[in-house]
A and B are shown apart, each in its own frame.
Chain A
Amino acid sequence: AQKITQTQPGMFVQEKEAVTLDCTYDTSDQSYGLFWYKQPSSGEMIFLIYQGSYDEQNATEGRYSLNFQKARKSANLVISASQLGDSAMYFCAMREGPSGYSTLTFGKGTMLLVSP
């Protein structure tokens, strides 16, 4: 079974609208971390947001927020007020265990296209 599932291969959104990118995960660990990364066409992986399994509040970073629903094992990324520069590939990833030096497992990604 896949550990990270991103069911949306591609998403379209108009500029200034909000968009939700889905991510579900599978783990039996109690301590884990969930990440979202953005990969523009240049290839670099840009860290966006982090949610720890014990964090009670949903993580927020500027226009990015993570809708963490632990019982459903979902960690959806919400981008508010989309901008043209948000067009990129977005990857959800999970770190199992408490250590930041544990490996990350990535989903297959969602390509987001923002139109004017």
Chain B
Amino acid sequence: GAVVSQHPSWVICKSGTSVKIECRSLDFQATTMFWYRQFPKQSLMLMATSNEGSKATYEQGVEKDKFLINHASLTLSTLTVTSAHPEDSSFYICSAGGPGQGGDTQYFGPGTRLTVL
């Protein structure tokens, strides 16, 4: 149980285009999902917390107009990188809060590798 999927797993796009990444909780409902960014050989950096039916909460330094987050249902959150540029190339990974040991646990999707040319 507690499976999170992400689509696409990798994407290559031209500079200036927008890219949408989907995060789905497959076997549980997630009122809260999280979006992280990870550069090579670095740790995960939280970008935003996505709450179903309300606006996302962005971390300091993350441009909300650049990274649009929509959490339209209890099983789906989307991250849209608008007008992507090469510096947006990174590994994007989502997680969903779900039932786990001793309370609730964050379960992670497999990640999306974005390359902007």
Contacts and interface: CB of A to CB of B under 8 A. Distances in A.
Most chain A CB within 10 A, of B38, B106, B113, is at B106
Contacts of B42: 108
Interface residues of B, number: 27
Interface string B16-51: 000000000000000110100010001110100100
- What range describes how many residues of A lie at the interface? 20 to 34
Interface string B81-102: 0000000000101010110111
Q: Which label, helix, strand, loop or mixed, suits the secondary structure of the B interface?
A: strand
A106 B43 contact: yes
A84 interface: no
A37 B95 CA distance: 12
Contacts of A44: 108-111
B105 interface: yes
A29 to B, nearest CB: 14
Contacts of A33: 102-103
Contacts of B91: 43
Interface of B: 31-32, 34, 38, 42-44, 46, 49, 91, 93, 95, 97-98, 100-111, 113
Interface of A: 33, 35, 37, 42-47, 50-52, 55, 59, 91, 95, 98-101, 103-104, 106-109
